[in-house]
Amino acid sequence: MQSRLWSLTLGNFAIGTGVMVVPGMLNDLSADLAVSPARIGWLISAFAMTICISGPFLASWTSAIDRRKLLTASLLLYAAMHFAAALSPGYDALLAARIITAVGGAIFTAQAAATAGLMVPADMRGKAIGLVFLGWSIAAVIGTPIGSYLGAHIGWRPTLALVGLLSLLFAGAVWRQIPARLFVAPMDSAAWKALFADTPLLLAISVTAIQALGLFSMFSYMALVLKDGIDATPAVISLLFLCFGITGVIGNIIGARVMDRVGPARVGIAAMACMLAALLLWPLTRGSLSMATALMLLWGVGCFAINGSQQARLVAMAPKLASASVSLNSSAIYLGQAVGAFLGGLIVSIQGTAALSYYAAVPMAAAIGISYLAGNLALRRTAMEAA
């Protein structure tokens, strides 16, 4: 059964690559389209906000659809809109294409995790969800640096077309490997009502949004940060993104392996602590390639382990509400990305990139504190129910 999960991993790789190539190509998109870096950041923000708003509604409206058909169709839409984006005549058309592209991502990311949970025994869900989110880590290893490199050497249009081709190929893999007639529990109004009445669960979901805000307020402009801070060339930026992604995969693998033993909440806190440390120390990278490399490695360790741990945590906290909570958590990721990219753009426009890491560190620290609070409330509730 685990071999079938790899098609979901590959699908997430395509989705993640489509998301991550834009930050990697920020400098090239800005120059070619003759717009400011902040407006390129709005491409990231609009994409993420579309997923944030549409995700829960799409999950509810599509709950009666066979998972194989739904996941395959979402990847086909993702492919088609990347081809359309590659042919965009200007910024406005590209922005519209990115918004429609996001609908495919909104469906696939959440439902891939929920589908993985249906395909394995309960005691293997943590590993299964971690495996599915490994695709995002691989996208960070390959997608962002390749996007940065290809954007500088062959242009952003062929690069987006390549993402479309990957999505098309992996849609075929999902169709072949995911069992037919696999359905999630219907997400009716009672499920949503129960979810919004569960304070610990809502706090856990808010952790996802807040840490993503901190992450993407800086990462969305990382190519510009590296160019300004250490005068990095496109080749150096690509290599640093590669370093970031490699440790992202390592962190995700370690997190998935220990998650069922130490608990997803602890994995998530450790991941956020790595990112917070990198953000606080980032000003030391000014003019130092070696320090920038070291902190990119540290940042990467936690960056993608947090996603799998949060999904597994929500499933464990309320298994019957998993379809709703995982969908809302997926929206929370993109809400944080949208707000983070927007606020990061404002900071870059007003103050430049020098102090960006300090602004990013504040929500990351807050997310760690809220995660502790959510865990304590959940333990207290369990003790009261037992009594």
Mean pLDDT of 17-21: 87
Instruction: With a cut of 60, say whether residue 1 has pLDDT above it.
Output: no
pLDDT of residue 70: 92
pLDDT of residue 185: 65
pLDDT tens digits along 348-373: 999 989 889 999 999 999 999 999 99
Mean pLDDT of 23-52: 88
Instruction: With a cut of 80, say whether residue 121 has pLDDT above it.
Output: no
> Per-residue confidence at 97, pLDDT binned at 50, 70, 90?
very high
- At 246, list the tokens: 């490699």
Nearest alpha-carbon partner for 253 in 320, 192, 305, 182: 305
d(CA 360, CA 279): 7
- At 26, list the tokens: 């920020």
Taking the mean position of all CA atoms in its chain, how far away is CA 27? Answer: 21
pLDDT tens digits along 54-91: 877 787 777 778 888 999 999 999 999 999 999 999 99
pLDDT of residue 249: 81
pLDDT of residue 27: 86
> Per-residue confidence at 186, pLDDT binned at 50, 70, 90?
low
For residue 379, give every residue at least 6 positions away whose Cβ sits within 8 Å of its Cβ, in sequence order, or none.
none
> Per-residue confidence at 214, pLDDT binned at 50, 70, 90?
very high
User: 155's torsion region: left (phi>0), alpha (psi -120 to 50) or beta?
Assistant: left
Mean pLDDT of 10-18: 91
For residue 241, give every residue at least 6 positions away whose Cβ sits within 8 Å of its Cβ, in sequence order, or none.
24, 140, 144, 145, 148, 222, 296
Using CA atoms of 122, 125, 126, 127 in order, give the dihedral in degrees to the nearest 10. 120
pLDDT tens digits along 249-303: 888 888 888 887 888 999 999 999 999 999 999 999 999 999 999 999 999 888 8
- Which of 6-20, 75-89, 140-154, 295-309 is predicted least confidently? 140-154
Q: What is the 3-state secondary structure (H, E, C) of the chain?
A: CHHHHHHHHHHHHHHHHHHHHHHHCHHHHHHHHCCCHHHHHHHHHHHHHHHHHHHHHHHHHCCCCCHHHHHHHHHHHHHHHHHHHHCCCCHHHHHHHHHHHHHHHHHHHHHHHHHHHHHCCHHHHHHHHHHHHHHHHHHHHHHHHHHHHHHHHCCHHHHHHHHHHHHHHHHHHHHHHCCCCCCCCCCCHHHHHHHHCCHHHHHHHHHHHHHHHHHHHHHCCHHHHHHHHHCCCHHHHHHHHHHHHHHHHHHHHHHHHHHHHHCHHHHHHHHHHHHHHHHHHHHHHCCCHHHHHHHHHHHHHHHCHHHHHHHHHHHHHCHHHHHHHHHHHHHHHHHHHHHHHHHHHHHHHHHCCCCHHHHHHHHHHHHHHHHHHHHHHHHHHHHHHHC
- At 314, list the tokens: 């929500």
217 burial via Cβ count (<10 Å: 0-12, 13-18, 19+)? buried
pLDDT of residue 127: 74
> Per-residue confidence at 3, pLDDT binned at 50, 70, 90?
low
In terms of C-beta distances under 8 Å and separation of at least 24 residues, what long-range contacts does 198-202 make, across chains too?
198/317, 198/318, 198/321, 199/377, 200/317, 200/374, 200/375, 200/377, 200/378, 200/381, 201/314, 201/317, 201/318, 201/321, 201/325, 201/374
Mean pLDDT of 188-215: 89
Write down how long the chain is.
Answer: 387
Mean pLDDT of 101-113: 86
> Per-residue confidence at 134, pLDDT binned at 50, 70, 90?
confident
Mean pLDDT of 215-231: 92
**Would you list the domain boundaries of the chain?**
2-176+190-386
pLDDT of residue 188: 66
pLDDT of residue 284: 94
Instruction: With a cut of 90, say whether residue 98 has pLDDT above it.
Output: yes
Instruction: With a cut of 70, say whether residue 187 has pLDDT above it.
Output: no
pLDDT of residue 364: 97
Mean pLDDT, the chain, rounded, equals: 87
Cβ atoms of 24 and 236 closer than 8 Å: no
Mean pLDDT of 306-331: 82
Instruction: With a cut of 80, say whether residue 138 has pLDDT above it.
Output: no
pLDDT of residue 262: 87
Higher pLDDT, 362 or 191: 362
Q: Decide yes or no: CATH 3.40.50.620 for domain 2-176+190-386.
A: no
Q: For residue 77, how many C-alpha atoms fall within 13 Å in the half-sphere facing its CB?
A: 18
Cβ atoms of 220 and 27 closer than 8 Å: no
